[in-house]
Structure 1
Amino acid sequence: MMRKLLVLLSNSNGGNQDNYKIPFSNVVVIGTRNYFWGRKWRNVDIQVASWFLFVHILALFAPFTFTWDSFFIAFIGYLLTGILGITLSYHRLLSHHSLKLPKWLEYTFVYFGVLAAQRDPISWVSAHRYHHQYVDTNKDAHSPINGFWFSHMGWLLDSGYMVEKYADRKNAEDLKKQTFYIIMQKTYMLHLYGCGAILYACGGFPYLVWGMVW
C-alpha cells in the first residue's frame, strides 16, 4: 500500500506502472503519462507552466507585502473571478446551461473568468463537458486513471493529451460560433498580462502580489 501511495503522489517522470487502485476509491490507475520528460511541450504548455511558476514566486512575497488595501483587492478579485467568473459563468452558465443571462452580462461575467487564469472559455467548457461525458475513463479530460498528478494538475500542462482525445472540441460548437469566445481563445494570455499591469499601476508590487495570487 505504501509503495502504491508513493507512486500515486509522485512519479514525476511518468511512464507505465503496474495497475493499482487509488486509495479510498474504486478507480484503478492503468498507466501514467510522461509528465515532464520524454514528451512534446507545446507553446501553450510552456505558457501555462511559466504562468504557474510566476504566480507561485509571487506568493512567496505575500507575507511581506500585506496591506489591508491589498487584502481587499484579493477578496474582490476572488468574488469577481472565482465566484462570478468560474463558478457562475464558466461552470453553471456555459458548461451546463443552468441559467440564461443577457449577452452583455454573460460576456462580462465570462471575462471575469478569463482573469481567473483557468484557460479560455472554449477550452475550459469543452474539457468540463468531456469530463462529465466520460467521467473517470480514458477519455476524461483529467482522468484519475492516468495517475494522481495528471488528474490534479498535469493535464493543464499537457495540451497534447487534449489534441489526442478530441482536437476539434466539437462539444463546444455553441461557443465557437460566437466572435467573443474566439477572441478570448486567441488572446487569452494578453488579458492576464494586462490585468497584472493594471494592478501594478494602481497599487504597486503589493497589489500585483495579492491581486494575482488570491
Structure 2
Amino acid sequence: MGSGGDPIEWAKGHSWHHANSDTPADRHSPRDGIWHSHWGWVLDESYADSRRDPKGNSKDDLAAPWFYVESPGFYGWLRETYMLHMLGQAVAFAAIWGLPGFIWGFVIRVLFTQNM
C-alpha cells in the first residue's frame, strides 16, 4: 500500500498521471468513481499499476526521472531506506512533542499532503 512511495516511484507515477489524465490509463481517474480517484488507487496499487496506455505501456515502462539519472547513488540509497526515513520522522515527532506532535506533525501532515 502506498501513494507513490519513494521519490523515484512518485515522480514516475506523477508523470504517468499527467501524460494520461482522465483516460483509462490514468492511475486515479475520476472516471473510476470518487472512491477510486481519491483513495482506492492508494489502497490497491496493483490495480492502479496495471493501467496501460493505448500503446500497451505502463508506469513502470517510463525512464528513470532526471534527478535519479543525475545522482543514482544517492537516490538509490534513498529509495532503499525510504521507509526508515518516514519511521524516523514519526518517532522524532513523538519523542519531542509526544502524542500531539506525532498526530499533528506526522499523521495529519502526511494525510494533508497526500490529499493535495
Give the TM-score normalised by structure 1: 0.41
2:66 to 167, 171, 174: 174
1:139 to 15, 20, 25: 25
Deviation of 1:143 (Å): 1.2
* Gap change, CA 1:126 and 1:147, over 3 Å in 2: same
* Gap change, CA 1:134 and 1:167, over 3 Å in 2: closer
Deviation of 1:175 (Å): 4.2
In the TM superposition, what are the counterparts of 1:40-79 in structure 2 within 5 Å?
Answer: 45=1, 48=2
Amino acid at match of 2:29: S
Deviation of 1:181 (Å): 2.3
1:152 to 38, 46, 55: 38
Deviation of 1:209 (Å): 1.9
Alignment pair present for 1:197 and 2:91 = yes
Q: Can you give the 5+ residue segments of structure 2 that lack an aligned partner in the other structure?
A: 52-57, 110-116
Deviation of 1:137 (Å): 0.4
Structure 2 distance, partners of 1:141, 1:171, is 17
Percent identical residues: 37
Q: Matched residue of 2:60: which SS?
A: coil
Deviation of 1:169 (Å): 4.3
Deviation of 1:135 (Å): 1.0
Name the structure with the higher helix share.
2
Give the TM-score normalised by structure 2: 0.70
Amino acid at match of 1:179: G
Matched pairs, number: 100
Higher RCO (C-alpha 8 Å, min separation 6): 1
Deviation of 1:176 (Å): 4.2
Amino acid at match of 1:124: W
* Gap change, CA 1:121 and 1:195, over 3 Å in 2: same
Contact 1:128 1:141 in 2 (8 A): no
Structure 1 distance, partners of 2:87, 2:47, is 26
* Gap change, CA 1:170 and 1:191, over 3 Å in 2: same
